[in-house]
A and B are shown apart, each in its own frame.
Chain A
Amino acid sequence: MSQDLKTSSVAIEGLNDSAFKVRLKRNLEIIQNVLENPTTVIGLIIVILMLLMALLAPIITEPNMPDPYQMPRDWKAARSAPLTPGHVLGTTNRGGDVYYGVVWGARTSLKLSLIVVCLTVVVGVTIGSIAGIVGGKVDEILMRVVDVFLSIPELIFALAIAAILGPSFTNIILALVVVFWVKYARIMRAQVIRIKQREYVDAARVMGDSKMQIYLKDILPNSFSPVMVQATLDMGNIVLVGATLSFIGLSEAGIAEWGVLVSEGQAGISAGRWWASTFPGLMVFLWALAFNLVGDGLRDVLDPRTETKR
């Protein structure tokens, strides 16, 4: 209710404003709505810090040449505790610098989650749209395939595929894509079916628009917001599952990745060398938490059905 009042008052106030001003006001309002929720703000701050860390990795650490994604090995300084000069967060028992792993691990995670999210969204949205628009038998077949995929637990499914493909980072990406696209197909299909019965789709047909035009202008943009929310949530989940897979040893050995680092450090935990596992583990936790908080916040703003508690 308060939302309605707000927008209508803007409409009346704005009558004498220029087009640019109206747009600016509208966008500011959306941002304001997002920022009104304190947990979203916390999530957003962590996300921004993580992204900064990932983007500035070559500046805040010295890249390990020739392949910066490989952990640098300093065998002489192995097993040093945090705050040792040169190794702020200590080293693993194989001489890997934990600080380097944490920073470049963010970059690896960003790479992993971005690639997987982009691919899954494209695949899922395409298949979901086809199912929703064509309907009938095509829909039935596609959705039964989706059901089969959904019936297997995420982690176990990803693990099985990654194990079949063999240990490498690319294979983890592939495995995650295979597991994660189904949700988008489901969401998109439901949205397309909902939107395609709207009167403005009929209105567009009446205006002589082709099916493709209607899809691109009316159906796709209006059904995209739940996909965006899910994508944000998945940015976190993918890193979580990805780290699990590398922890088990399904990614290349020795790369700067949080899951690999945790598994490298786990042997030392019983001997009191807690740092090698704790810091990367904490990063995974923070990453997943932050994206989930932001995703939830986005859902509150983008989905008109959820009541905003004020």
Chain B
Amino acid sequence: MSPDTAYTSDSLSENLIASVTDLKVYFQSKQGMVHSVDGVSFDIVDGEMMGLVGETGCGKSVTARSFMQLIQTPPGVLAGGKILFKSQKNCNKCNGSRCVACSKTGKNILDLLSLSESQIRELRGERIAMIFQDPGKALNPGLTIRTQLAEVFQEHRENDVFKKAGITNNLDGINGYLLKKYIRQELNLITKLMLKFPPFSGFRKKVDKAIDGLVTEALAETQIPNPNKIMERYPHELSGGMKQRVMIAQAIACNPDLLIADEPTTALDVTVQARVLDLIKDLQKRHQTSVLYISHDLSLVRRICDRVAVMYAGKIVETGDAEIIFNNPKHPYTQGLIKALPSMTHERGKLEAIEGMVPELINPKSGCRFASRCKQKKSNCENNDPELKVLSNKDKSHKVSCFLYE
């Protein structure tokens, strides 16, 4: 299969790293089609932090998982849309050996949804990484932290391992062959035995040491105290915050272009949350990684994100610069959300709540999804679908989907 087939002719403007257009993900159920994500569009600017906010069940995680083709089909149905991804900012890190994006062709825009399993596999971990919600569940309980982190380097950073081990010129012939197999863990009985004895065993030990060194560095970067000791531990011996740090170390080990963080701090308590958030923000700035940060916590997103998209019942209702959205929300839903936030700075009296319930997403009717709860509802809201439109010509990034502004 030629890698060229993965590229689309679509273009992506200079400053974007990824762009979701009209993404529709449905799920089959006995009651009918659940429209979990129904026409979501947003852009992720290169090197920025994009926040995706919304309440439980509005389709945030489904959107994020679509980036990695993690939606099981069936029951999931990809009903349409595209996720365009600029796969390579600069190509010096993969050395072209096992990478779709680097081999030839001037174009480097991929449609993540149309990639084959083997193609998306080469992006996973390498270009796009993901941090999960519950660090306690996202680490294999049966392996030590070292083994789990080493896997990343073995899989994606073969050349770095060799460089670190100082064996760069002995890589031709049988020695290189054996060591490459060793790193990729594709050994059979004979090669395993060969590596047990000199002269190969010396090289193997060097490689082991190099991998250990890389693992320690990756852990140290997440400010874990005593990375040498932590390495030997099993996940159940670490605290939640430490596990999340290990997850982060695992995710950024390959210096991905895009990091998807699916509510990474929800399972942590508040003080640890703050520290993990600072860590993510710090790493993002240092590595110039783009981040898609998913959360239901508005104040948290405000603290770290450059840009925000607000989701409601499978649709984006408002998107734009974080500060603008928080200071000058336009959509009634966003306004309601912000009114519901407690404030420390000024007296606001009673907190407001948004009345009503989230609508049923099974075979939904047309019309604004928020109409049933909206206080500023107009006559055409119930029957017509509002589109996500630019508000004013001054700020093209601020878009709202509401009939109030048409």
Q: Please encode chain B, from 135 to 170, with 1 for each CB lying within 8 Å of some chain A CB and 0 for all others.
A: 001111111000000011001100000000000000
Q: How many residues of B contact A (CB 8 A)?
A: 36
Secondary structure at chain B's binding surface: helix, strand, loop or mixed?
loop
A296 at the interface (CB under 8 A from B): no
The residue of chain B having its C-beta at the shortest distance from the C-beta of A204 within the complex is B140
Q: Out of B124, B151, B185, which one reaches A206, CB within 8 Å?
A: B124
CB-based contact A206/B70 at 8 Å: yes
* Total A-B pairs, Cβ < 8 A: 77
B141–A208 CB distance below 8 A? no
- Chain A residues contacting B234 (CB-CB under 8 Å) are 26
Q: Does B89 contact A (CB under 8 A)?
A: no
**Inter-subunit contact A207/B143 (CB<8 Å):** no
- The answer on a CB contact under 8 Å between A208 and B138 is no
* Pairwise interchain contact B232-A22, C-beta atoms closer than 8 A: yes
Q: Does A194 contact B (CB under 8 A)?
A: no
> For the complex, what is the distance from the CA of A23 to the CA of B234, rounded to whole Å?
10
**Contact across chains for A202 and B140 when beta carbons are under 8 A apart:** no
A 1-30 contacts with B by CB, 8 A: 7-8, 10-11, 15-16, 19, 22-23, 26
Q: Determine which of B140, B231, B236 lies in contact with A218 in the assembled complex, contact meaning CB atoms within 8 Å.
A: B140
Residues of A contacting B151 in the complex (Cβ-Cβ under 8 angstroms): 207, 209, 217
Q: How far does the Cβ of B2 sit from chain A's closest Cβ, in whole Å?
A: 20
Interface centre among B122, B126, B155 (most CB of A within 10 A): B155
Contact A209 B155 (CB under 8 A): yes
A200 at the interface (CB under 8 A from B): yes
- How many positions in chain A have a CB within 8 Å of any CB in the partner chain? 27
Q: Of A7, A202, A210, A221, which contacts B70 at CB under 8 A? A: A202
Check if B121 sits within 8 Å of A221, measured CB to CB. no
**Are B126 and A200 interface neighbours, CB within 8 A?**
no
Q: Is the CB of B140 within 8 A of A206?
A: no
A10 neighbours in B (Cβ, 8 Å): 237
Which residue from A19, A23, A26, A208 sits with its C-beta under 8 Å from B121?
A: A208
B125 contacts the other chain (Cβ, under 8 Å)?
yes
Q: Does B390 contact A (CB under 8 A)?
A: no
A199 at the interface (CB under 8 A from B): yes
Contact A22 B121 (CB under 8 A): no
- The docked-state distance in angstroms from the alpha carbon of A198 to that of B141 is 11
Q: Is B226 among interface residues, defined by CB-CB distance under 8 A?
A: yes
Q: A19-B232, A202-B70 are in contact. Are A207 and B125 (CB under 8 A)?
A: yes
A222 within 8 A of B: yes
A205 within 8 A of B: yes
Given A22-B233, A210-B121, does the pair A203, B155 have CB atoms closer than 8 Å? Answer: no
Q: Which of A19, A26, A200, A205 contacts B68 (CB 8 A)?
A: A205
Task: List 13 interface pairs A-B (beta carbons < 8 Å), by A numbering.
Answer: A19-B232, A199-B134, A199-B137, A200-B140, A203-B250, A204-B140, A206-B130, A207-B155, A208-B156, A209-B125, A217-B151, A221-B142, A222-B140
In the A-B complex, the 9 residue pairs with the closest CB atoms? A208-B125, A207-B125, A208-B124, A199-B137, A19-B232, A206-B130, A203-B138, A199-B138, A11-B237
